[in-house]
Amino acid sequence: MAELYPESLEKLQDLLGYKFGDSRLLFEALTHSSYAREASEYLRDNEQLEFLGDAVLNFIVSVRLADCFPEYPEGKLSLARARLVGTEYLATVAARLDLGRFIHLGRGEEKTGGRNNSGLLVNALEALLAAIYRDGGLPAARDFVERFVLPPDLAACADELVSPNYKSALQEYLHAKLMPAPRYRVVGEEGPEHRKTFVVEVTVGERGAARGKGATKKAAEQEAAKGLFDLLEREEQETEENAEL
């Protein structure tokens, strides 16, 4: 631990622009359970801090959204918060911080690519937030969220934050029906390079497929997910109606 401790912590603190009063909190936030299990001395892993960080993040984001969008009903605020605290979005935050290179992993996790595991990175990010909260209180935690998690212009992202997330809706529907996870693939590109349109196909086992177009791959995936979600819902409704006859 003596080798790893000072250098990695100093680099991350420089990146964050925050100096810990108790650097042991930062080390704990970066300690995966696999590393703690293999250590020759007792070490606390980051699971408890992750639990706390999730709650702190939800609170800070909720307050910020309520302040920014006072006219929004609870449903819209909940949807916007889900976007900002979801694994997909937080994984991009962790990637921007290059958090993977600072995490302490056991040999097994290291070999299986743990530093690029989005779930592991998000857990470390939440633990990092909790460590900042423990060390510097709510003002320090709020500053971290404002600087690294929330979009620079939150109000300008209003439409994007509350638009339906069909990929998530499809994923939840399939999970509830015990069906395979959806698979997305780019099947075509149209138009000139500077105004390209992507064509994405989504499939779910042998049940069905749908295609979507968009100016970005993500937009095309959303459109494809909407098409397949609507298709599966129609099929389910028709099955129920036929059963009643």
pLDDT score, position 1: 40
pLDDT score, position 46: 95
d(CA 188, CA 201): 9
pLDDT, one tens digit for every residue, the chain (245 residues):
434 445 678 889 999 999 999 999 999 999 999 999 888 788 899 999 999 999 999 999 999 999 999 999 887 898 889 889 988 889 999 999 999 999 999 998 888 888 889 899 999 999 999 999 999 999 999 999 999 999 989 998 888 888 777 888 788 788 888 889 999 999 999 888 767 899 999 999 887 899 999 888 888 999 999 999 888 888 888 887 777 76
Is 236 among the catalytic positions?
A: no
d(CA 100, CA 118): 9
Which architecture characterizes domain 4-162 according to CATH? Orthogonal Bundle (1.10)
d(CA 19, CA 109): 29
> Residues 126, 135, 221, 223: which is the catalytic one?
126
**CATH 2.60.40.10, domain 166-244, yes or no:** no
Is 126 among the catalytic positions?
A: yes
Q: Where are the domains of the chain?
A: 4-162, 166-244
> Residues 38, 47, 54, 110: which is the catalytic one?
54
Dihedral angle over CA of 31, 52, 94, 40, nearest 10: 0
Is the CB of residue 158 less than 8 Å from the CB of residue 69? yes
CB-side neighbour CA atoms (13 Å) of 177? 17
Is the CB of residue 104 less than 8 Å from the CB of residue 31? yes
Query: Cα Rg for the chain, rounded, in angstroms?
Result: 21
**Stated pTM of the model:** 0.69
Sign of CA dihedral 65, 69, 71, 72: negative
